[in-house]
Structure 1
Amino acid sequence: MPPTRSAARPGTGPVHPTPGARGALRPASATIGGGFWHTRREVNARTSVPQGPDLLESAGNLHNLRLAAGTAEGEFQGAYPFLDTDVYKWLEAAAWRLAGEPAGALAAEVDRIIALVAAAQQPDGYLNTWFQLRGNGERYQDLRWGHELYCAGHLIQAAVAHHRTTGRPELLDVARRFADHIDTVFGTPDSGKPLDGIDGHPEIETALVELYRETGERRYLDLAGYFVDRHGHGLLGGEAYCQDRVPVREATTVEGHAVRQLYLLAAAADLASETADAELRAATERLWQAMAATKTHLTGGLGAHHDEEDFGDPYELPNERAYCETCAAIASVQWSWRMALLTGEARYADLIERTLYNGFLAGVSLDGERWLYVNPLQVRDGHTDPGGDQSARRTRWFRCACCPPNVMRLLASLEHYLASTGPDGLQIHQYVTGEYRADLAGAPVAVRAETDYPWHGTVALTVEETPETPWTLSLRIPQWCGSFRVHDGERTYDGTNAPVRDGWLRLERTWAPGDRVILELALDARLTVADPRVDAVRGCAAIERGPLVYCLEQADHPGGGLDAIVLDTARPLAVKQRPELLGGVTTVLATGHRRELPDDGSWWPYRPAGHTAAPAGGPVELTAIPYYAWANREDGAMRVWLPTS
């Protein structure tokens, strides 16, 4: 076994292709120094991540590790065999934080929990507290539900993050021993290994690719390829739910459990990059297009069904029954980032932006202490909340607590999803106040950005370091943007003369320190309608501004519910800054009416065709808030899509 790297690499994120990878782009370094995402990350760093150990203690996750280590007595706590992953996802989040805070209380907690994980590991490398304590020593006998490899995947990702930020090997050694053990067990029938099988919940696949990237051990990449290609061959009964109905290479659309599907496809994109597998690349592009075009909610949310947490049919995108699990939004970002690096196309960054600002960020409260597992697009008047994981009310923690630490780890590593570098220069995918850095043929490039995005559309970029040779600064022009203007110190571009191709505005020249580029994106509030095949919202419109999806919330509309609201599309939308509201937001004001709905005690809720409810009184001013900020005040109705007739 070759030695692992010992030096910390703070600029290296969750996805770090090898030098020989065949993707079009590579991740670039970025820092977030202020503005919207700085605020959200500070809440994550100061509130969400620090409370993790106490929550893991109260839920029993750490107790179970102590039981497995033989340092405590008692019974296994919890109802699921995958509870170890909550610990590993928290460790990953904390590890990314250690890049900026290498010492202190957080570092001490990380060391303590890593030592506990190491003590729980069995001599041959196996580690899963459920099966060690409750499974009678029977390993890999319930691959459909047991989640042993899923747990291993999250352990590996946490270990890679810890090694990349600190250079320390303790957790990576644990992960490698587990991966080595798995490699002795699983393989094709002709491999001589005892078990041909896959996990019911993909995750190990992309983790193994990253372990290969971190260690240089080719067998980890080969093992990842084995697992990806064995999905869809009936090893778990052939169900779409666990990604076993059709092989990835043959699939024509995304299906089954949304998170499982997206984790599997993230690994397929990784493998396509590292192995130059054209068939896998074509499959991932085909499946991403099918997902984005027919199975993605306006918020970027994914998952139509509460039952089995899965995708529905094409254009089956309900509102109040939308599942849109927070973890699915995170998985979408992870897969789309890999696709952006693989292909170089801006459309993947467009979906990342939409998902980050809406479907993902709604999953955590503004104070960082409460969470949503599911993210519906409507909560009806008189809603009866089921509680638990299905709740439309924010919850301190969940019995199945996969989402909270998952949010923590994405926010902690967000700087690594903002920019890339390629043969011709630097590409800025997401706009933040901070700095983007890259190396072009060994020469450093640094660009400083100042912006109040997404509230205002101006992004001021200043070149701070540059080689003396020409290179291209590529700026993503968002898909939602109707008009823009760019001044680079020499010329002014707009939608009529700008060199925009595939969503990128490319500015090529020999740059000098101090050169400035001013990008102005029009942030007009707008109404959006859906494809007519989306039955759930036919005859409705939604309000958007920039990358933000908006919603109505009961708290802003006293005197009546939201189900009777009809949007007046003939009246203009207005924008109002509300620094005192929900941490400081820009609201959109619209005009609507309340229909006079029948309440005559009839036993039959239907009326003859042509009967319409009359407006009750005069126009009503509607206040729309950003969707990510809903459910932070009193409980009540909410809706994104508004009837227009």
Structure 2
Amino acid sequence: MNGPIVPTAVARAAHRPVVFGRVELTGGLWQLWQKVTRDTSLPLAFSWLEKAGNFDNLRQAAGERPGAGYRGPVAMDSDVAKVLETAAFELQHGPDDATAEFIGRATALLEAAQEDDGYLHSHSQVVKPGERWTRLVDSHEMYCAGHLFQAAVAAHRSIGDERLLAVARRFADHLVAEFLERKDPPLDGHPEVETALVELYRATGEERYLTLARKFVDERGRGLVGPHKWGARSRIDHLPVREAPTLTGHAVRALYMEAGVVDLYLETGDESLLQASVTRWEDMVASRTALTGGLGSRQVAEVFGEAYELPPDLGYNETCAQAASIQWSWRLLLATGDARYADLIERTLYNGFASARSADGKRYYKGNPLQRRADHAEHVGDPRFRDEWFYSACCPPAFTRIVAALEHHLATVAGDTLYVQQYAPTALTTRIAGGTAQLRIETGYPWDGTVTVTVDEAPGEEWGLAFRIPPWSTKALLEQDGSAREVTRDERGYVTVHREWRAGDTVSLHLDMTPRLTVPHPRIDALRGCAAIERGPLVYCFEQIDLAGGVDVDALALLPGSELRVTAEEEIPGIGRTVRIEADTVTVAGAHEAGLPYLTHPAASATTTGRTTATALPYFQWDNRGDGAMRVWMPLADN
């Protein structure tokens, strides 16, 4: 059972995914998300591909329904591919007739629409027949091809499907014939095909796919995408990938590009690619990442903003960008073995990413704000509101394809050590130390910080079991053989137990889940004087629905010295299992001067009244109980 990323045997990988064995979720939040995907989100996606016109576009490209008219944006084929990828990975969890039928039906449509030379892009085929590769700055032709390649690899690895893989290979062979020997080839304005070509190479062994991916990466930044109204930065074509110091432009494009850069490093050993990508990742984390892991601070053009430009209310934090961030960090983790990449995956996954879908699996955000005011309903068409589907529906299937393959991000292997990177109830089997290890992971994460591993089968040699210690845990205890000791992160972020394990052995990691008050870097202008609440891997928020007595969430301020009190686990209708946090707050009010919301200094700019208790909820669970105001970052009141 293999996941989305399987480096070759000769890849320059410090860690490898669990590929010789099986990882199966047995409970907890991750398994719940997968169940919601299987029961609700996937059937909904199947229906929307018909309602939105994706399938009709392919039928027209195949010569059916002539004159019906193309529907939707240029990248409609990519939605089909991402739903196919989700469906393929979902079938790893067990048979399902409707999902298998969808894969067969969608594959047949793609086969019928594909032209004899392998070309496949329904928008170009229907709207501009015979006109190919002429406006790659916005046509998404290669972008759609990339998602098709990834879907085909997923179906091949999950259910042994050869039909969709054959469609992908014909299209990839067409790309090779068109562009591999071409000097100064035009490049797609939306990177994605690069990482997909590398994975198709891994699945098929066809070296030309890897060579073409390298050509596309090496040529990026030389103006070959073509002019665009938002400039070369928006289309990630302003500097060569080995020279660009920061991520700029369209967030999703930039992050997909980075995934391809690291994939190329893994398969070629080109250190300059890895070094450049790590540099940009470090800058992104330090100055361009929201507390929730969200990326892309500007809704207009969906771009990264300037350093420390992280507004809570207008930050876009697109769902696709957060999915792409997980994909990039996972590749960097495999390349380096450094836990900081798993740390960011955890932050992003449990917060900004998980918030994108409603608890019932029916609605999605495109943008994920950290603040919403009471009068937000006036902003008609704002993409920071959940909906079942979108005109440009990239985000719903981007979400589900990550969730469907979550277990593949849980552990890695390096030498004779198994590294547990993320914590969820799991049954895991892998080859290690010349034999087979079978483990059970039991945990209440993210509500509880205890992770217990029981060994059910072990090889007769010594081998290591490593736990990632998240940086938010100020104290960690490791318990084994009836005693516990305090442990710290090693230089890579782990604590490792190396021994000859026997069936029945257990070891437990206890992480400190004390809630904490987090303040922003002083250069984040939009957040000065504010604080947020975190507990374990979760960021918390205050929703209007939880405030009694007509108190306005936007009028509250946190008392910095107050105790943060954790409530008991509970089930909330519309949300499910959760843990809330109580905090002491005051109401902040101030008079206007001359009708303006300003006061002459020095003056009492505000008065505080009505000390009360407010209850915070995990951010990923917000907006499931009706439409209302919300804040992650709260003003800090003067003591």
Alignment TM class, shorter chain as reference: over 0.9
CA deviation after TM superposition for structure 1 residue 436, in Å: 2.6
1:523 aligned residue (477, 494, 513): 513
Q: Is the 8 A contact 1:549 1:626 kept in 2?
A: yes
Instruction: Specify the SS of the correspondent of 1:151.
Output: helix
Partner amino acid, structure 1, of 2:11: A
Deviates more, 1:591-600 or 1:374-383: 591-600
Superposed CA offset, 1:513-563 (max 9, x none):
111001111111110011111111111100000000000111111403222
Question: Taking structure 1 as reference, are residues 522 and 499 closer, same or farther at Cα in structure 2, changes over 3 Å only?
Answer: closer
2:581 aligned residue (588, 597, 612): 588
Superposed CA offset, 1:415-455 (max 9, x none):
11110001131000000001233212541122211111111
Superposed CA offset, 1:181-214 (max 9, x none):
0111114xxx3x3761110000000000000000
Q: Which residue of 2 aligns with 1:467?
A: 459
1:399 pairs with 2:391: yes
Partners in 2 of 1:471 and 1:499 — Cα distance?
Answer: 19
Q: Which residue of 1 aligns with 2:187?
A: 198
**Which structure 2 residues correspond to residues 149-548 of structure 1 after superposition, within 5 A?**
149-187=142-180, 191=181, 193=182, 196-235=185-224, 236-237=226-227, 239-388=232-381, 390-489=382-481, 492-495=484-487, 498=488, 500-548=490-538
Q: Is the 8 A contact 1:324 1:375 kept in 2?
A: yes
Q: Is the 8 A contact 2:433 2:461 kept in 1?
A: no
Q: Is the 8 A contact 1:78 1:399 kept in 2?
A: no
Partners in 2 of 1:494 and 1:501 — Cα distance?
Answer: 16
Deviates more, 1:215-224 or 1:434-443: 434-443
Q: Is the 8 A contact 1:185 1:195 kept in 2?
A: no
CA deviation after TM superposition for structure 1 residue 45, in Å: 1.0
Instruction: Specify the SS of the correspondent of 1:552.
Output: strand
Q: Is the 8 A contact 1:185 1:194 kept in 2?
A: no
Superposed CA offset, 1:310-340 (max 9, x none):
1111111111000000000000000000000
Instruction: Specify the SS of the correspondent of 2:440.
Output: strand
1:633 aligned residue (609, 621, 625): 625
1:611 aligned residue (590, 600, 603): 603
2:546 aligned residue (546, 556, 571): 556
Uncovered stretches (5+) of structure 2, i.e. residues with no partner: none
Superposed CA offset, 1:439-485 (max 9, x none):
12541122211111111111111012211111111100001111111
Partners in 1 of 2:23 and 2:608 — Cα distance?
Answer: 53
Q: Which residue of 2 aligns with 1:127?
A: 120
Q: Is the 8 A contact 1:225 1:271 kept in 2?
A: yes
Partner amino acid, structure 1, of 2:277: T
Q: Which residue of 2 aligns with 1:567?
A: 558
Instruction: Specify the SS of the correspondent of 2:431.
Output: strand
CA deviation after TM superposition for structure 1 residue 78, in Å: 2.8
Question: Taking structure 1 as reference, are residues 499 and 627 closer, same or farther at Cα in structure 2, changes over 3 Å only?
Answer: closer
Q: Is the 8 A contact 2:373 2:629 kept in 1?
A: yes
Superposed CA offset, 1:39-81 (max 9, x none):
1111111100122111111111111111111232443343411
Instruction: Specify the SS of the correspondent of 2:74.
Output: coil
Q: Is the 8 A contact 1:499 1:506 kept in 2?
A: no
CA deviation after TM superposition for structure 1 residue 392, in Å: 3.0
CA deviation after TM superposition for structure 1 residue 578, in Å: 4.8
Uncovered stretches (5+) of structure 1, i.e. residues with no partner: 1-10
Question: Taking structure 1 as reference, are residues 67 and 227 closer, same or farther at Cα in structure 2, changes over 3 Å only?
Answer: same
Q: Which residue of 2 aligns with 1:34?
A: 27
Partner amino acid, structure 2, of 1:586: V
| Number of aligned residues | 627
Question: Taking structure 1 as reference, are residues 95 and 499 closer, same or farther at Cα in structure 2, changes over 3 Å only?
Answer: closer
Superposed CA offset, 1:385-404 (max 9, x none):
5344x333211211110000
Q: Is the 8 A contact 2:370 2:632 kept in 1?
A: yes
Partners in 2 of 1:131 and 1:316 — Cα distance?
Answer: 38
**Which structure 2 residues correspond to residues 95-106 of structure 1 after superposition, within 5 A?**
95-106=88-99
Partner amino acid, structure 1, of 2:383: S
Q: Which residue of 2 aligns with 1:5?
A: none
Question: Taking structure 1 as reference, are residues 612 and 118 closer, same or farther at Cα in structure 2, changes over 3 Å only?
Answer: farther
1:87 aligned residue (80, 84, 87): 80
1:25 pairs with 2:15: yes
Superposed CA offset, 1:190-246 (max 9, x none):
x3x376111000000000000000000111011111111111111124611111001
Q: Is the 8 A contact 1:302 1:329 kept in 2?
A: yes
Partners in 1 of 2:153 and 2:379 — Cα distance?
Answer: 38
- Alpha-carbon RMSD: 1.5
Partners in 1 of 2:69 and 2:184 — Cα distance?
Answer: 28
Partners in 1 of 2:65 and 2:452 — Cα distance?
Answer: 56
Q: Is the 8 A contact 1:205 1:225 kept in 2?
A: yes
CA deviation after TM superposition for structure 1 residue 291, in Å: 0.8
CA deviation after TM superposition for structure 1 residue 614, in Å: 4.4
Q: Is the 8 A contact 2:70 2:123 kept in 1?
A: no
Partners in 2 of 1:270 and 1:537 — Cα distance?
Answer: 36
Partner amino acid, structure 2, of 1:127: L
Instruction: Specify the SS of the correspondent of 1:560.
Output: coil
CA deviation after TM superposition for structure 1 residue 611, in Å: 2.7
Partner amino acid, structure 2, of 1:538: R
Q: Is the 8 A contact 2:366 2:385 kept in 1?
A: no
Q: Which residue of 1 aligns with 2:137?
A: 144
Instruction: Specify the SS of the correspondent of 1:227.
Output: helix
Q: Is the 8 A contact 2:557 2:635 kept in 1?
A: yes
Instruction: Specify the SS of the correspondent of 1:563.
Output: helix
Question: Taking structure 1 as reference, are residues 609 and 30 closer, same or farther at Cα in structure 2, changes over 3 Å only?
Answer: farther
Instruction: Specify the SS of the correspondent of 2:568.
Output: strand
Partners in 2 of 1:99 and 1:383 — Cα distance?
Answer: 41
Instruction: Specify the SS of the correspondent of 1:99.
Output: helix
Question: Taking structure 1 as reference, are residues 167 and 111 closer, same or farther at Cα in structure 2, changes over 3 Å only?
Answer: same
